[in-house]
Chain A
Amino acid sequence: MREPHSHPDHLWRNPEPRRAYEVVIVGAGGHGLATAYYLAKNHGITDVAVLERGWLAGGNMARNTTVIRSNYLWDESAAIYEHSLKLWEHLADELDYDIQFSQRGVLSLVHSLGDRREGLRRVNANRLNEIDAEWLTPAEVKAFCPIVNVSPDVRYPVIGGTLQRRGGIAKHDYVAWAFAHKADEMGVDLIQNCEVTGFDLDGGRVRGVHTNRGLIAASKVALCAAGHSTVLADMIGLDLPIQSHPLQALVSELLEPVLNCVVMSNAVHVYVSQAHKGELVMGAGIDPYNSYAQRGSPHVIEYQLAAACELFPIFSRAHVLRTWAGIVDVSPDASPILGLTPVENLFINCGWGTGGFKATPGAGWVYAHTIAHGKPHPLSAPFTLERFTTGALIDEHGAAAVAH
């Protein structure tokens, strides 16, 4: 791994866009950068541009709560998220960059009989998929995470929990920069301040994108724009079953180490971890209304803080340093949409909703494969746009322990 003193002055070039590329990826967030990296690394496709209307990794990649886990209920989800988690486990070495991946464990608290049944079912489903999962009693919860209040004397007592020890967090910026650095090194052009304003179509086939920096031709165009996917799809008349919502998060001031793992609570609804630097990072559910405003309603923050203070009485004197929101792309079944589109040479990766960060390497891997071969990777085959017509949904609402 690279020592701090040898950190390069620049992690990527800032090239002018060329007139044509083999593949143009729209969106230089985590998924777009990972896709570019794996296109170059796994498929030898380096004639690639990643276009970004703002700055690199400045959207949801800069706004998420960095939780990484793979303990999803359904086989299709378990397979793709576990693939991603296995990539995370070697990513720092592969990218030669300390992304501060820390497998400190993700603990999901259980507060009701319904929660308990769901939790036990998910633990068993995970084990059948060879994903590590444990059921914890309240005493075991207390032993694993001593600052959780497991007293019966609260409104929603903790009656157990599920634990994925291999889950954890990573440093989001470093992840993006590491993928960007390696993709750039292999010849990928990362082009910031380049907004796609339209598509160059030839019949039912896409052959390039119009941007604020001119027309850029491409044999293949791959959308990777999360909450703004619909804005792009609308330009080409492609309908997506996506709704864009604000997802808020917050941090406290920097504190001494007090929280040793990721804790999530589905029922009282908050998830929290302590970043390496020391701030408590918290999130909860989306704001209910459609929005592109990157801000949400104050009561959503108030509710998650109330939940956090009940679970962790020690937090009651911490301060909220700042709150923010990202725009997440929510699909009807809370599962991603990844694959081909009715428009020839146009590919789509969206619908990760509130949980896309953990999938960054896995999504990049399968999306690169899909783009390179012109057909879905086996792991993403169940996640195509067609499932909303066939009815073969992968319903991870609630079943995925809700919070991401």
Chain B
Amino acid sequence: MLIPCPWCGDREDIEFKYGGAAQVAYPTDPQSADDAHWARYVFFRPNPKGTMAERWVHTAGCRRWFNVVRDTVTHTIRPA
């Protein structure tokens, strides 16, 4: 699987670490968030069969974090 690093270009996935779903928002009002709210933030993530917005870091290259949109069935990737 080739992953498009915005700085280094297409590189093999062995050079990257996976960061999971992108755009996971921290609770806007953490003081008033209840257990259910925290459970959602800590443990629940999107797991779509299809396109998924996700984060990668180019650990063996420029170490840059970036977002892509990848299809979890075909593994085709486009920049976010």
Binding site for B on A (CB under 8 A): 228, 230-231, 234, 239-244, 288-293, 297, 299, 332, 388-391
Contacts and interface: CB of A to CB of B under 8 A. Distances in A.
B47 A243 contact: yes
A293 B72 contact: yes
Interface of B: 1, 12-14, 17-18, 20, 35-36, 39-40, 42-45, 47-49, 52, 54, 70, 72-75
Contacts of A388: 39, 42-44
A54 to B, nearest CB: 15
Contacts of A289: 13, 18, 54, 70
B52 A290 contact: yes
Contacts of B17: 288
20 contacts: A230-B47, A230-B48, A239-B40, A241-B39, A241-B45, A243-B45, A288-B18, A290-B54, A291-B73, A292-B49, A292-B73, A293-B72, A293-B73, A293-B75, A297-B13, A299-B13, A388-B39, A389-B35, A390-B35, A391-B35
Contacts of B39: 241, 388-389
A231 B43 contact: no
A241 B43 contact: yes
Given A241-B44, A388-B39, A292 B14 contact: no
Contacts of B73: 291-293
Nearest to A297: B13
A228 B49 contact: yes
Contacts of A291: 72-73, 75
Given A244-B49, A388-B43, 12 more contacts: A228-B49, A230-B48, A234-B48, A290-B47, A291-B72, A291-B75, A292-B49, A292-B72, A293-B73, A332-B43, A388-B44, A389-B39
Nearest to A332: B43
